[in-house]
A and B are shown apart, each in its own frame.
Chain A
Amino acid sequence: MKSEYITGNTSVNGEAIPVVSTELNTKDFLGAVMVRWGINRDRYRVNPGIYAVGSPGPGAEVFVSANYKLSFDSLRKNLQGKNGWILVLDTKGVNVWCAAGKGTFGTKELINRINIVNLDKIVSHKRLILPQLGATGVAAFKVKEETGFNVHYGPVRAADIKKFIADGYRADKEMRKVNFSFIDRVKLIPNDFVYGKFYLLAAMAVLFLLSGISAHGFSYRNFQDEGGSAILKVFLAYFAGIVITPIFLPYLPARFFSFKGFYSGTIVFLILLLTRSAGHNLFEILSWFLIITTISSFLAMNFTGSSTYTSLSGVKKEMKISIPLQIGFAFTGIGLQIAEKLIY
């Protein structure tokens, strides 16, 4: 099947190499929006192999990318007006950094792909430009040993490629640095929001069922009076963990993400308290405080995986301290919830 971003072919040594457009169209844009919402995310791929941008000759640069279409699109868009080659590795549809962490954007696949496309027959030089974040999976000196190609680590962001080339293949400090700006964080929210939907529904179901408990068994009236409110509270806790925490990440006190989530859960709880919606008595109010902050805290802890600055050792330490607290909070909260129903 011919993809829309392929505009034609160029012939090298009798082999046709697809030429790709450097303009993103509406379909590329919509595809990107959908992927951000987790739709079609695992199938948003391009075929691994070699592509041409503009009308490259044997002296043109080779840029290496992943076969996640979002990565590929961001590269070709930033090569507008350039002649070059794009070598797409098979990263199973995963972006450069994550794939490098797993090793699929890695030394072995790069060497393999160079050989499959006969790169030394396409270009006359020995230079490869890799996104810097690919370095987690690629040992440049090994690629040199095996293929003769010199890996040059470019900037972190494709948007800096032109400047990188203009500066004589040098990435300055800013180009090399990974940030985690407000925009970066907001972009991640939709996917995380959709990703946890089953946990959300499960938690809603549990609290809904609990709301029906009374001293005389399940009570239809209790469901009617409290069920909706229980579902709303769980949703707000989810919102605190998945939306409020990432947005205010730098401003929430504490370094543990789980504690940051505890605070954003507390904010939601305080709003409920001030609007007199947190519960009818001390037991119920306390139980909701524990349940809401636990849910928010746990979800915020999972945001460590989306962040760009947490280490494995750090997250392990955080979990060792936080998970027992979360379990304690959750059991106490649910226990109080049941006790309250049976007493009052």
Chain B
Amino acid sequence: MKELVYLPDVVTLNLCEATCNGCGMCIKVCPHEVFELSGKKAHIVRKDFCMECGACALNCQVKAITVNSGVGCAAGIIGGILNNTEPTCGCSDSKAACC
């Protein structure tokens, strides 16, 4: 089956290669093979596949990665606007169930 990819050129993921220490953690935690390691540095190779889950940035000890992470969930965003909070899917609330 062909691999699903969402919209081109919208992802907020950024990697500062100068800061990167080449530990490779981002590669281990990324669920969509966005990074590759070469020349002792990580590189973003498949940016459009990024779903902004934030695992790489959180696990980057030298803070070389930034991403505006959150849930890619329309119901969550609508809920966030209505309740004036961050977009959040209702997984843990008693009624909602988006993921």
Contact = CB atoms under 8 A, between A and B. Distances in A.
Given A98-B91, A133-B31, A314 B7 contact: yes
A176 B92 contact: no
A299 to B, nearest CB: 10
Interface stretch (A72-80, A81-89, A271-279, A316-324): A316-324
Interface string B59-83: 1010000001111111111100000
A102 B91 contact: yes
Residues of A contacting B: mostly: helix
Question: B interface, how many residues as a size bin?
Answer: 35 or more
A315 B59 contact: no
B6 A314 contact: yes
Contacts of A95: 91
A153 B4 contact: no
B1 interface: yes
B31 A177 contact: yes
Residues of B contacting A: mostly: loop
A236 B91 CA distance: 27
Interface in A186-206: 191-192, 195
Interface string B1-31: 1101111101110000000000001001111
Contact of A312 (B25, B49, B71, B75): B71
Contacts of A310: 6, 51, 72-73
Interface in A150-185: 153, 156, 171, 173, 176-178, 180-182
A133 B99 CA distance: 14
Contact of A304 (B1, B54, B69, B72): B72
Contacts of B55: 100, 133, 135-136
Given A156-B31, A250-B2, A313-B12, A135 B98 contact: no
Interface string A283-317: 00000000000000000011011111111111111
B91 A317 contact: no
Contacts, number: 155
Q: Which of B8, B58, B94 has the most CB of A within 10 A?
A: B58
A139 interface: yes
A135 B58 CA distance: 8
Contacts of B10: 311, 313-314, 317
Interface string A53-96: 00000000000000000000000000000000000000111110
B42 interface: no
A104 B91 CA distance: 11
Q: Which of A38, A191, A305, A316 has the most CB of B within 10 A?
A: A305
B77 A319 contact: yes
A250 B4 contact: yes
A141 interface: yes
Contact of B87 (A133, A180, A306, A312): A312
B64 to A, nearest CB: 13
Contacts of B58: 135-139
A102 B6 contact: no
Contacts of B88: 102
Contacts of B74: 257, 301-302, 304-305, 315, 318-319
29 contacts: A38-B97, A92-B92, A93-B92, A94-B92, A95-B91, A98-B91, A101-B53, A102-B91, A135-B28, A135-B55, A135-B59, A136-B55, A139-B58, A173-B33, A176-B31, A195-B96, A250-B2, A255-B6, A302-B74, A305-B71, A305-B89, A308-B31, A309-B49, A310-B6, A311-B10, A311-B50, A314-B10, A315-B73, A315-B77
